[in-house]
């Protein structure tokens, strides 16, 4: 499939600054509530008085804030609200449905961990599938492996790809690798159509299990992954916070034990702009595959 690029319109209007009647402090408010989360009234992140605050029912009772220098892009795709802003301390920030997906300052910690641990765990990986990862960071890291011959990426939201190419070229550089084939579409459907034993590794760089990424956390999805992997292959997937989402993790662990019949270990690294500031990795080992599950904490 031919790749499509090019700049998106970035002159997106936001509400004009108003004077706070109580203290006279200018405040610009940008609601991140969208059609995808309209049934979750607490899932609203906003820019208020120059600060972006990440507010979501996925981490109740807490929020992470970054100072905003300038909103660079805001648009609504067929699937989610997309925003890019320039922060004071973390460079440019990509936000989907009010949740930070990456920042220029700390994206390397996530991209490197979710890519190199699985790919370095098997000998000479040749054919790789990335589900999600529309920003291109995982592609950038996969391309560093000289044994890799082909990389498929299936991203559901073309706007994420285009916005990343425009505002995060040092991350989206992964799309420039000639070994990469971009597929715009649903990752679950893509996997179901993949012939058995196609890939040496599957890396699932998904958003949280609400909205378009929900199916990527279910047992049927892992069964499709198992079918797509060759014997001895590896899968690595983002799997939420060990401090906030133990019920989700327990479900993933139980499903993967049934599908891959593996044991569990974990490693971790820090990602400051993810909730609780830690990224952990559950590692599943089986006779047929080695399965890493990365956990946002």
Q: Yes or no: say if 134 and 157 are a contact pair by the CB < 8 Å rule.
A: yes
Q: Yes or no: say if 44 and 57 are a contact pair by the CB < 8 Å rule.
A: no
Active site residue 205: yes
Torsion, CA 178, CA 184, CA 189, CA 193, rounded to 10: -40
Considering Cα of 152, then 104, then 273, then 17, what sign does the dihedral take?
negative
Catalytic residue among 205, 208, 251, 288: 205
Residue 258: which residues within 8 A CB-CB, separation 6 or more?
Answer: 219
Angle at 263 between CA 259 and CA 265, to 5 degrees: 125
Tell how strand 279-285 and strand 263-269 pair up.
antiparallel
Q: Is 214 strand, coil or helix?
A: helix
Q: What is the chain's length?
A: 297
C-alpha 69: how far from its chain's center? 24
Beta partners for 51?
Answer: 48, 67
Q: Yes or no: say if 180 and 209 are a contact pair by the CB < 8 Å rule.
A: no
Considering Cα of 118, then 124, then 127, then 133, what sign does the dihedral take?
positive
Residues with catalytic roles: 205
């Amino acid at each position: 499939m031919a790749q499509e690029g090019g700049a998106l319109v970035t002159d997106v209007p936001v509400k004009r600054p108003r004077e706070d009647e109580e203290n006279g402090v200018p405040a610009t408010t940008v609601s991140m509530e969208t059609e995808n989360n309209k049934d979750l009234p607490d899932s609203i992140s906003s820019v208020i008085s120059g600060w972006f605050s990440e507010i979501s029912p996925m981490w109740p009772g807490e929020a992470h804030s970054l100072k905003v220098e300038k909103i660079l892009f805001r648009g609504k795709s067929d699937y989610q609200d997309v925003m890019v802003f320039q922060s004071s301390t973390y460079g440019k920030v990509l936000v989907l449905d009010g949740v930070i997906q990456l920042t220029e300052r700390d994206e390397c910690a996530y991209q490197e961990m979710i890519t190199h641990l699985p790919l370095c765990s098997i000998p000479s990986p040749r054919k790789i599938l990335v589900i999600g990862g529309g920003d291109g960071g995982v592609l950038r890291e996969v391309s560093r492996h000289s044994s890799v011959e082909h990389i498929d990426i299936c991203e559901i939201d073309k706007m994420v790809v285009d916005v990343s190419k425009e505002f995060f070229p040092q991350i989206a550089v992964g799309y420039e690798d000639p070994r990469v084939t971009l597929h715009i579409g649903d990752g679950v459907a893509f996997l179901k159509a993949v012939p058995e034993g196609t890939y040496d590794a599957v890396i699932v760089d998904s958003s949280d299990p609400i909205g378009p990424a929900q199916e990527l956390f279910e047992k049927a999805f892992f069964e499709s992954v198992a079918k797509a992997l060759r014997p001895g292959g590896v899968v690595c997937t983002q799997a939420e916070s060990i401090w906030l989402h133990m019920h989700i993790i327990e479900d993933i662990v139980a499903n993967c034990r049934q599908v891959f019949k593996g044991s569990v270990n974990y490693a971790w690294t820090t990602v400051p702009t993810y909730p609780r500031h830690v990224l952990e990795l559950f590692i599943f080992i089986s006779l047929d595959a080695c399965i890493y599950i990365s956990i946002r904490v």
